[in-house]
Chains A and B, each alone.
Chain A
Amino acid sequence: MQKEIDRNVNQPYKGSDPLKWVEQYADYLYGFAMSRLRNEALAKDLVQDTFLAALQGAGQFEGNSKEKTWLTAILKNKIADFYRKQLSGTLKDLKATDAENEQSDFFDAETGHWNEQYMPRTFGLETHDPLILKELGTILNACLAKLPRLWFSVFAMKHMDDLESEQICVELKLSSSNFWVIMHRAKLNLRNCLQKNWN
């Protein structure tokens, strides 16, 4: 019975067998999604969305690119869409110029020295241990969620695949100097948040 279904559906999918996708690629795609989202429920959702979108577009798969590469490209777009959606309609939350004022207490206003309270201290972690990295990733998500939306978007877009800072400035209507101020502030905040929450 199962075999019959297989044969029938194989016709429209050139050189590609959707019923084997899960077995062959699901773990890989899930790992890819987790490494960029650090959220199990969300990563699972996007893996499922990827397969469904692939089914829709399977007619376009010509078999000239590897199936795995093709599926990964679809997933990458889904992840990028997720981050884009995060920022839609939220750009008014914070003007870029606020970045400079908001967090000026990391450093002494006159000398530029670290203020004692915010000074980096060692995390004391074996950062090659995958389990510790996974846990740190979860904390990082909580810290990302606390960032002002504009900073979050700038940070996320910068570190997503294939996005140049010039392109981000255009998309978010930022000047280049504002962009760097925000990147700096976002990172100072994230680092400080990780330090506070890792114990």
Chain B
Amino acid sequence: MSKALKNIIYNCKQATFLIEKRIAGKITAAEAVQLKVHLAGCSVCRLYQEQSVLINKLFTGLPTAGFKLDETFKSKLVKKLEEEINKN
């Protein structure tokens, strides 16, 4: 077994680092193998990975259809646009 591979099996710090690289699509083939070996035996880091993906999703990927503006704000907005248009 290579030294790099041995080093990662029990190293959660390195594994979570590689998880971040993989999520960003920047992991090398060798690193991907190391990570796979680690995750096969580490449920805590598997959970970390799941939650890390969730955080990214929270940051940009919330379902947009659930959000609606209230009518008061909308009518104010229309008024504002009208004012702006009439200035020109």
**Measured between alpha carbons, how far is A106 from B55 in the docked complex, in Å?**
18
**Measured between alpha carbons, how far is A72 from B66 in the docked complex, in Å?**
18
**Measured between alpha carbons, how far is A51 from B82 in the docked complex, in Å?**
11
**Measured between alpha carbons, how far is A158 from B26 in the docked complex, in Å?**
13
CB nearest neighbor in B for A106? B13
CB nearest neighbor in B for A54? B81
Beyond A114-B12, A122-B47, A180-B20, whether A31 also contacts B77 by CB under 8 A is no
Q: Given the complex, which residues of A lie within 8 Å of B28, measured CB to CB?
A: none
Beyond A18-B85, A19-B82, A30-B68, whether A35 also contacts B44 by CB under 8 A is no
Beyond A5-B82, A31-B64, A35-B64, whether A107 also contacts B12 by CB under 8 A is yes
Indicate if the CB atoms of A48 and B77 lie closer than 8 Å: yes
Pick the residue among B45, B59, B80, B85 that contacts A9 (CB under 8 A): B85
Q: Given the complex, which residues of A lie within 8 Å of B26, measured CB to CB?
A: 165, 180
CB nearest neighbor in B for A104? B13
Stretch at the interface among A63-71, A85-93, A183-191: A183-191
CB nearest neighbor in B for A158? B24
Interface residues contributed by chain A, number (CB under 8 Å): 60
List, sorted by A's number, 22 A–B pairs whose CB atoms are closer than 8 Å: A12-B88, A18-B85, A19-B81, A21-B81, A22-B77, A27-B68, A30-B68, A35-B62, A35-B64, A43-B67, A51-B77, A51-B80, A52-B80, A52-B84, A55-B85, A111-B11, A113-B10, A120-B47, A131-B66, A134-B62, A140-B55, A184-B16
**Measured between alpha carbons, how far is A8 from B26 in the docked complex, in Å?**
54
The distance from the CB of A48 to the nearest CB of chain B, in whole angstroms, is 6
CB nearest neighbor in A for B43? A120
Pick the residue among B48, B62, B84 that contacts A137 (CB under 8 A): B62
Whether B36 sits at the interface, judged by CB under 8 Å, is no
- For the residues of B in contact with A, the DSSP-based class is helix
The distance from the CB of A166 to the nearest CB of chain B, in whole angstroms, is 10
CB nearest neighbor in A for B48? A120
Whether A14 sits at the interface, judged by CB under 8 Å, is no
Beyond A123-B51, A160-B60, A165-B26, whether A44 also contacts B69 by CB under 8 A is yes
**Measured between alpha carbons, how far is A184 from B54 in the docked complex, in Å?**
15
Whether B86 sits at the interface, judged by CB under 8 Å, is yes
Q: Given the complex, which residues of B lie within 8 Å of A44, measured CB to CB?
A: 69, 73
Pick the residue among B20, B48, B54 that contacts A127 (CB under 8 A): B54
Beyond A22-B74, A114-B44, A133-B62, whether A55 also contacts B81 by CB under 8 A is yes
Indicate if the CB atoms of B64 and A34 lie closer than 8 Å: yes
Pick the residue among B13, B51, B67 that contacts A112 (CB under 8 A): B13
**Measured between alpha carbons, how far is A26 from B74 in the docked complex, in Å?**
8
